[in-house]
Each structure stands twice: as C-alpha cells, then as structure tokens.
Chain A
Amino acid sequence: MSDTATPPDAVTITVDGKQIEAHKGEMVIAAAERAGIYIPRFCYHPRMRPVGMCRMCLVQIKGPRGFQLQPACYVPVADGQEVVTTSPEVKKVQDGILEFLLVNHPLDCPVCDKGGECPLQDQTFAYGPGETRFVEEKRHWEKPIALSDVVLIDRERCIQCDRCTRFADEVAGDPLIEFMSRGAKTEVNTFPDQPFASYFSGNTVQICPVGALLAKPYRFRARPWDLEQVESTCTQCAVGCRVAVQSSNDDLTRYLGIDSDAVNHGWLCDKGRFSYEAVNSDDRLGRPLVKRGGELVQTTWADALDAAGEAISAAVSSAGSGSVAVIGGARLANEDQYAWAKLAKCVIGTDNVDAQLGDGLPAEVVLGLPRATIDDCDTASAIVLLGPDVKEELPVLYLRLRRAALEKKVPLVEVASGRTGMTRYATTVVPCLPSDQAGALRKALAGGLRDQLGGNPVVVLGRPSLAEPADGVVAAAALLADIPGVRFLSALRRGNVHGALDMGLAPGILPGRVALDAGRDWFTAFWGSAPESGGLDTRGILEAAADGRIGTLVLLGADPVSDFPDRDLAQRGLDGARFVIAVDAFLTASSRQADLVLPAAMFAERPGTTTNLEGRVSRLGQKVTAPEVAWPDWMIAAELAARLGGDLGFLSLDGIWDEIVRVAPAYAGINRTTLGTRGHRDGIVVPVPEGTVLDTEMPPATDVTVGQERDAGEGEIDPVETPGIASVESHGVPVQAHDPAAAETAGPAAESDAEAAAGRPRPALIEWDRAASGTTAAKPDAYALRLVVGRKLYDNGVNVQMSPSLAPLAKQPVLRVHPSDLDRLGVKSGGVVRLRSPQLTTTITAEADPTLPRGTAALPFNVPGIEVAAMIDASKPANEIAIETP
C-alpha cells in the first residue's frame, strides 16, 4: 500500500463509474483502495501472495459474459476493466459471506483481545447482517492452546484466512503452522511436537483479522479503546523497524509493526515486539546509587552528580584527560549520543570513547565506505553476505534479504565459516576458514565470482565471529571495495550503534562522520576544543584500565563483563579503573560493580532520533514516563558538564538537534521540521545527496502521531492489514514540538551560517583508507579447534532477560563441530564432550555440522549455561579450544 511511484505502465480502470489509474500487475483491490474505494477483505494482505479464500472481496467485474462475481484480491487490473463494488448483488454477497463467517465464530467479543480493533467486528458492522439466522450449536475447540512460548491460538475464533500460515511460510520461511483437518473442522495448528518457534511469530498475532491468535504477554492486559500510542523506531537492533508504541495507564502494553516501505514492511521480530516488558520491568533503576561500604545505596541526583564530577575532575587533574574513558552509548538516542560525545571530547577532552564493545568493525570502515540502503538489496546485481548470521542479529533485515533472494531473484553470495540462517537462500557459498575471509574471497573472485557479482553489488558487512579480530573481514571488505559500483550495508547490530558512530562515540571520530584530524579545526570553532590525538577503543580502554591508567571509566549503558568478547579483560578493566560510573537502566554484571550508578530513561520514555544501519535517521516517540527519577542520557551529560565547569550549550532536545544539523556535516539539512513531514516519516538517509529536495512542508501537529498521521494522502492505514494501529487513539507526545522560531534558525540558511561562523568550509566526510588494511589468517593449531562465536537472537542480554516472555527463549547452546572432529573422538552427534580452553574446562553437548570447516568449533555468545566470553582472549588473532571424551 505504500508503493507510491507512478509506473510507466499505468492502466485505467473504472470502479463504480469512477475512472482510476492503476499499476499494471496490481490487483483490483489495491488499485481501488488507492483511489479511495475500500473493498472489504480478510485474507488479502498487501505484503503477501493473494489466495482469494475468504471471498469477502467479491465484486462484479465485467468479462466476456457480462458482470461476474470475482475476488478483487485475485484479479489483476486490465486497461478498460469495469468493476462494480456497490451493486445490490455485491451487497448481498458481502452480507452473506459475513453471515457465513459468523456461523461458527463464538462472538465472545467481550472477553476477546481483539474486541474494539477487530476487522471482523468492524466489517460486520459496516457490511454485514444485523442479526444471525444461525440457531444451531457452533463448532467447539479447547480455548486457547499454545502454538509457541509466546503465541496462543483460539481456534473457535479463527476464520481460516490463511494470513498466519502464509506469513510463516512465505515471509518468515518458518512453515511451522498449517491447516489441519477440513471443512468447518479446519484448524490452524503446529505439527506434533514442533512448536511455532519462529523469531517472527508475533507478526501472526498482529495480522490476524480476528482474535484467534493471541500474544501471551498482551492477553487480557488491555482493551484497545484504553490504549494510547505514538509512532517510534525500534532500537532492539540496528534495522530500525517502525513501530507503534502503545500504552495504558503509563505502562507499555504492546508494540505493533508499522508498514515502512523502506525498512520493515510492517514486520517486527519477536524480540523487538515483546521487549517492552523490559521497559516495564520492576528491576528498572529509578534512583542514583552510590557505593558505600561495598554496597550500592540510593542517593540523590545532586550528590551523585557531584560524586561523578569529582571523580572525573580528579582523574583529569592527576593523569590528564586521557585517563577518563567512556564505553558504550549504542543504546542512546542520537541527541543523547551527541551530548555525551561533546561532554567527552570537548568538555573533558578525551578521545577514549567507544560505543562498540569489541564486537563490531572499526568506525572508519563502517562510515568510510559507500553505503547501501535495504531497498538497494532488491535491485542489486548480487548481495554478498560478509558478516554475522543476519537471522540471529538483524532479524527483519533477514526477512528483507530473504525476500530479495526469493522474490526479486537477486543472487546471494555468502562468505562464511559454516551455515547461517541465510545459507539456504544463497546461490553461492564461499566457505572460509575463520579469519580467512579475504583469502577465500580472493580465490573465489579470481575463480569467476567477480563476474557473478555484476555492476552494482551490495555487501552486507559485519563481524562474523567474536572470537577473532575484525581484521579478516576488514581485509575481505577491502577486496570488495575495489569493485566499481559496490555499496556496503552495515550489519553492526547494536540498537543505535550507527547513530553512535555518526555522533562521534568512537575513537578518532567527530560528530557527522568526520575524522578527528580532518574535523578538529571545524569543531574547535564551535566547541572551543577537540581532542589532540586519537584515543583508545574498548579493548584499549579496558587494557589501559587493567594497567591502572584509567582514573574514571564511564559505562554508558554498557555491560562489558557480559558483553565484551574477553570476560577476563573486561573484569580486569573494571577492577583496575579507580572509579567506575555506570549510566544504566538495570543493574547488570558490570553496573553492579560500579562506584556510582546513574539511572537512565529507556526506549519509549524519551523522544529523540535514531539512525539505523542504512544511515536512516528516524524519530523516536515518547509514550511513558521513566521510573522514579531516571533521566534521559543527554540530561545527565549536560548536568555533568556543568559539574565540570563546562556548558554543553543546549537546554532541550530540540536545541541539541539544531546543533547537530549545524555542526555535524553528514546531518546537514535534516532539520527537525523536515524529519516531521509526511514525506519523510520513514526517516531520511544521511548524508542527503547534494541537490536533493526534501519535503519541508510542516504537517499539522496531530500529524506527528500514528493513526491520524497516515490517513491523509495515499498511505491510509488499513485497519484490516494492521488491526490495532488505526483503531487506537493517538495521544502520544509529538516527537519534537514545533517551534517556528527554532525552525528558522535550523533551515538551510543556518547551515551556511555555520560555515561563516566556523570561518572555514565544512570538513569532508570520512573515507576509509583501505590501503592500510591487510592481514594474514592465523594458522590453526593442528590439535585444537578454532573457535567461531556468533550471537543468538535470544541471549543473556538485559533486554531479553528482563522480558519475562523472552527470557525462557534463551536456550542452552550446543557446540557445533565438523563430523570428522567428533568421529576422531568416537563421539556421536548429540553426545557430550569435555571442552577445554586455556581459561576454563566444561562439558557440553556436541553436534556434527558438516558445513563447518574441519578444525573449527562454533558456539553462541552470551547464552545461558556456558561462559563463552571467558574462552576468548581479545589480544589473540584466534582463539582455540580442544574437545575430549568426558
């Protein structure tokens, strides 16, 4: 429904006497809807193949034998076609179909989650009979049964529209639910002993046109008419899915996916969908804590900020500004990140700042390569996967790439050590030894792969394994960067890590994608100062801290003890830092060791903007208030700056954004009025190319929230497509209140003002000097297994563990090794082995995986039951383990 471009092959059809323009190939139902003629429907969903099953959209279409009843969802438009949707014949059929649908429907609306936002209710009201003529006994089923850990089904309510089953098969690639039995006894169910364990199962609840599919976390929690909502962008990973955040009584109750054509097509992963439970968690930090006598005790903001200021000042005065370091910041909004970058790099003067925790890529690689959008993958000549398992780390990107491969027929080349969730869709697999991506790729390119890649390939670039440095994959990226026309799509996963890099939360980088050396003078002109030399990354910071060279370490929503791929170094770093300040929403393995804990507001508790893996800037909405006195991170930075005798120079979020647009070169032109316009509601990819005309029309204030927002123009929210969004009232706080005076200063004129004020032209954006890269793969020890460590969607991360519905989904892992390595031990696949690493010894179930190279062992990071981080030594080019019979 969001395809708005007028294609060259337009046709004209007549619907109810009205001539309308349609796109060749689209169905009558879609063309009519765009022209404002709504044809009722249940099974039709614009993001899925039509099936014509519910028969609700039967209309009269003129054919050789006159007007015939045809399903509008299944008949493509044709030039000169005549369609009638309101004749007595059509009305009679619509009435009849609704009556049929209600024959076996329990009509238990008063106790149904969907009641109030139910397409069956709404359409019965609009098109159906007033009363039923059915007097017999209805069909009965056990009410509701579990399809999976998070999704239940009430089969009595099901109208067999095939939406959930189609979604599972067609969109998610997890065909784990199916129709069983036949006739009126048809039911949707799973195969015996095979739960609907899909990362995307929650979408079926959202698209169910009745209350048959129920989300366990939402069931009986709210009535739709009590909900309020605001539009936002999910920051559970870096994909940036558009989401409607809904609340009741200041508690988050539900997230629903919004159909953003550029990003998520309406889908969410279950981690994103149900992570609001973590925001609601009773374990949230609401007050500052300070360590007294080894215990963290509550304190006031005033005392906490004083303590923090003193610790930072003491560190700076005793060992220089370089003895202050900041780890983390990927959880924050762009404005928060900018405030913290300015605090660190200007007020304190340290460049020891890193939002990545040794699990990403160097900032200059991510920022300095030509970037691709997700949509570019649909039209690419090939997609090269050179990074992590996208299905585990960036689930909705997996859906988009899967669609590009299956529907758009884009060849998929995967460079990997062992299978991933994408492997089954790959046209070519380039197997590589861990850290030897470059070697394998060089050989493959010479061996004909180059020709397969075509003229505009997209490389999905990320970190394949946490047990080895990024060098290998960076060297491979350097090879691919030589291909003319190539673009890169970052596969870094942390929520707003791309915003963090853009805002300068990385060593050697200043806000707006500028290298420290190139931008020092520019920023000095605005800030008054900028770091003299490049600082340390997280590993360097932790090593320095372990050596006693860090006076004050700030953990900005970071938990290195759990999350850094070297548990020992992370712990030594925390132990070695003289004072640790944690800015966090929870007490984690790291923050509970801090000397001072400052409570931060989370997602949906503060407005702002976020930047996804494409570099797409979109808005975050605030829907609930943070617990007790938790603050937005930018406010903490501003107050700390004041304690340090500095002044960040802004008093509001708007003020920060205006400054970003003014001084951060990649963000020039994205003033907040532009971000709020209808034309850019799905965000703007930065930097905006020279000469692009942005929509600067200021929409009405109500336009900022969901529901109202999309019903003007072509993009009306269809209540059947996304039940729940259009019917819920939008009372959200507008993301950024419009202040005409501020808007003026943030306009294009203000940008040239910036150059005048700085007295110099805007600095150039960073480009990656790939000549500097180069690596040789570490030689494996013949007797040991090289460790390959990736992530799972459900892990021990705080957002999963603090969401009661998600926490049980984090499962004990198995060790995957090549069958020959198990045969050598005489252990069968599924048997238990003793795993020995230099750091620890444990037992684990081993599984044979012939897709892994011999001599490698694959384990997931940060999952229950095994301390994989403890087996990794970040200083080594490779980490090895041995397995033995137990």
Chain B
Amino acid sequence: MPLTDVDRITTRRIGNADSWTLRSYLDNGGYAGLRKALQIGREAVHEEVNKANLLGRGGAGFEAGRKWGMLRQADPTYLVINGDESEPATFKDHMLIEGDPHQIIEGTLITAFAIGAAQAFIYIRGEFALGFERMQQALNEAYEHGAVGHDIFGSGWSIDVVIHPGAGAYICGEETALLESLEGKRGFPRIKPPYYPAAIGLYGAPTVVNNVETMSNIPWIVVNGGDAFAALGAGRSTGTRIFALSGHVNQPGNYELEMVKPTFRDIIFDPRCGNGIRNGNEVKIIIPGGASSPWFGPQHLDVPLGQDEVGKADGVMPGGGGSMLGSGSIVVMDETTCPVRAAWRLVRFFERESCGQCTPCREGTGWLSKILYRIETGSGRREDLDLLYDISDNIIPGMPWPYPMTTICFLGPSAAVPTVSAMQMFRDEFLVHVKDGGCPYE
C-alpha cells in the first residue's frame, strides 16, 4: 500500500482541543518557527524554503521560494495571503483557517520577514464567518503575545497584519482581483502584463500573494529544514498536501498525504481515505484538481498525486495535455452520474461567478450553460455539440491543456474545460440526450 505513514505537517494540530487558541498552539510547538526565523535571518529562511521546493498550494503550483525571489526590490513591498477559497469541492483552507489560524499567522510572519514586506494582509472569504472570527481572535492573541506588531519577540523587527473579509465573489480568489478588492475596488482581475504581482501588486507596490495552505507549511519547514520537507514526495512535488476528497466516495474529507506516493486509486479506495465508492459502484469521472481542471476517468486511477504526474498524464482535452492537481480537491463521480448535468452544474457556477469584465467569459459562460441545460432538459440539437466545441474554442483556442485564452483570467476557460471534458469522454451520452429528448438518468 503506497499510502505512506509520514507525519502530518499542516493538519497535525487539527483535532486538538481548542486548536485555534494561542494556548493550544503554544503547547504544540507554536511560534517556534518564527523565533527560529528571526534568529537565522531572512536569507537563511528563504534558502530553507528554496530547498524545500515548496509548490504553491493555491492551484497554479508555482514554487514559493522562486516567487519570493521574483519580488521587485522597492519600498514598500507587501505580503498578501489568499484565503478566499470558494471553488466548489475545495474545502482545505476552510479547515486550516478555522482549525489552526495561528499556524497561518506564523507562516505569514515568517514569510513577511523573509521577503521584507512592510505589511501583510490575510484575505478571508466573506462567507467564512467562523473562520474570520477565529482568525481575528488569533491575530489579537498573537499581538498580545508579542508575535505581531512592534519589535516582535524583541528582535527589533516590526510588522502589522490585517485580516480582510471578502464580499462574496469567487473571482476575488484570482490574485489580481483579490488585490483590487483589497484596495477597495470592484473585484476585476487585472489585465496581464504585468503577469505577476511581484512586479506591480497591491497599491502598485511589489507584492507576494501566497495561499493559506502554503503559509501553513512554512513554520514546519523553518523548524525542520527544507531538506526534511524535500525528502518527502518525489520529483518537483515535495512534502505533503491536503487533498479535499468529495463526491461518491464512502468517506469524503480532507486527507493530508505525502505527495506523489499515493495514486488516485489509493486515495479513493484506501480505508483510511475515501474507502471506496458508495454501493460498490464504479468510478466514472474524476475531477483531479478542482472544478476548473480537465476531467479524468477510470483509466487515470493509477496516476500518482503529483504536480507533474497529473499535469503530464494522457488527458482528455482535444488539443492534448493532461490535467492539474490544482487546489488539491478531488471529486469522484460514479456511473449513476449524468455527465451532461455534471458539466452544466460546474459551468453554471462559473457563469454565476463571472465578473463580467471581458467578453468571452461574460457571454461565453452563460451561453455554454444555456446550451448544456437545453441538452440536459431535452431540447438539445445534434449541432449543439459542435457549437459547444466552437464556443469553447473561442475561449481557449485549440482546446489543449494548458490552454491559451482569449479572456483576461482563468475563469472563462474554467467553464470551457468541463464542457469539453464531458463531451470528449461521453459524446455518446450527449447524443443519447439529444436523441431521447431528455436525460436518461432522470
């Protein structure tokens, strides 16, 4: 059984009594990483994170240490933590925010120290009411503890951290829309170039934007060393990751597993994880890395849970390429699932969350959603399949993975991807919908 028994890193305190309080955090080694960081200095911290080869846990999987190194030298620079987790079936950050807010704050402080940020902001999804409360409570405690604010732990280094709740828009999880939102503006993603906030970010200043789970790894890496982290996993995918497993598995939940070692089959069927499909059913669809990732099928069950392993798998997109591990959320659907309805449900989410800024997304997501709904409800036409392909092609020309796009950000393409995936894998079922004038699963 390749499901390894390594110690958990980011979720190791989850489940402790009052795990979100400073008392509980300190009792379990809290703020040791920050103290050590202040001692060894910012270059040494950066070096440990580089050695760890920690990939960003927000979805794109960019090396955290490299991102820090890209920060344009200027005064001021900012650190922004993205806690706007809002995608369907992604719920790992939610757990970290509610269960171990101090770990996020500690990681934030270490990172801010390492990059020399003037101020740090933690942006929390507006709907996380309890998470926001616990985060703010933890920050208040951290201030009292001397871990945040003026002259932290007597080191002479000072920084303020601000927690900011979002206002209910998925798009604000896109890092440049998040920055706009943080600046008090409408959450429109910024047009690229500049490609990275490390050049022009918050208030025009160079900014590092990191994910909550990424931050949760930092204290452990500083305490235990980057090499210890890099010893876990394989290839580019080091350490552990939280996989948010949901769908038709018997035991959905967040599972922190060593990267690359387990496969989709392991996480779905191991009794310590998914424990198999309900009623002993078969796997039909796997969404490997969040709602915007190209779908996998049963043929991908033995793909290891690693960044490149998933990225370079033999996937379903017509233009070629695999899929992505993305945010680490895995959705499993069994043979009772209508692929048309599943695609429509995902596309409808992106339609509703489209910010409306650029044309292909604003109009294309709605159009895709309307056609899928028509097919699902029995008003589909044979030519609708070609139409769906063509609309998708006008959003992600050529439909390869990874894709070029006619949009400003990845939201529009995220609607085209499940549409195309579903048609690629289940063209016959689409045709049945059209021919029978309705959904055979109804």
Contact = CB atoms under 8 A, between A and B. Distances in A.
B191 A55 contact: no
Contacts of A101: 359, 363
B3 to A, nearest CB: 38
B407 interface: yes
A100 B191 contact: no
B247 to A, nearest CB: 26
A185 B355 CA distance: 9
Interface string B369-405: 0110010000000000001001101100100000011
Contact of B191 (A51, A68, A69): A51
Nearest to B370: A136
Interface string B401-420: 00011111000000000000
A160 to B, nearest CB: 6
Contact of B397 (A53, A56, A69, A134): A69
Contact of B407 (A55, A56, A183): A55
A850 to B, nearest CB: 26
A179 B358 contact: no
Contacts of A75: 193
A92 B393 CA distance: 9
Contacts of B191: 51-53, 71, 74
Contacts of A89: 397
A454 B436 CA distance: 81
A55 B356 contact: no
A56 B408 CA distance: 12
B362 A160 contact: yes
B360 A68 contact: no
Contacts of A58: 406
A608 B415 CA distance: 61
A68 B367 contact: no
A55 B359 contact: yes
Given A89-B397, A97-B406, A183 B353 contact: yes
A104 B406 contact: no
A212 to B, nearest CB: 14
Contact of B406 (A93, A103, A133, A184): A93
A184 B360 contact: no
Contacts of B360: 55, 96-97, 100
Given A55-B407, A183-B351, A159 B356 contact: no
Interface centre among B171, B362, B366, B370 (most CB of A within 10 A): B362
A99 interface: yes
A292 interface: no
A183 B394 contact: no
Of A69, A96, A160, A186, most buried by chain B (CB within 10 Å of CB) is A96
Contact of A52 (B367, B387, B394, B408): B408
Contact of A184 (B351, B387, B390): B351
A52 B407 CA distance: 10
A377 B169 CA distance: 43
Contacts of A179: 186, 356
Contacts of B358: 52-55
B356 A181 contact: yes
Given A69-B406, A93-B406, A184 B397 contact: no
Which residue of A54, A74, A100 has the most chain B CB atoms within 10 A of its CB atom?
A100
Interface string A715-753: 000000000000000000000000000000000000000
B358 to A, nearest CB: 5
B370 to A, nearest CB: 4
Among B186, B363, B407, find the residue whose CB has the most chain A CB atoms closer than 10 A: B363
Interface string A83-126: 00000010011001101110110000000000000000000000
Contacts of A186: 355-356, 362
A97 B354 CA distance: 16
Interface string A62-76: 000000110100110
Contacts of A184: 351, 354, 356, 362-363, 365-366
A100 B394 contact: yes
Contacts of B186: 178-179
B352 A134 contact: no
Nearest to A183: B354
A179 B169 CA distance: 15
Given A97-B394, A103-B363, A68 B352 contact: no
B364 interface: yes
Contacts of A92: 393-394, 397
B357 interface: yes
Contacts of B365: 183-184
Interface in B333-361: 351-360
8 contacts: A52-B358, A68-B404, A93-B394, A134-B367, A159-B359, A160-B359, A183-B362, A184-B366
Interface of A: 51-56, 58, 68-69, 71, 74-75, 89, 92-93, 96-97, 99-101, 103-104, 133-134, 136, 159-160, 178-179, 181-186
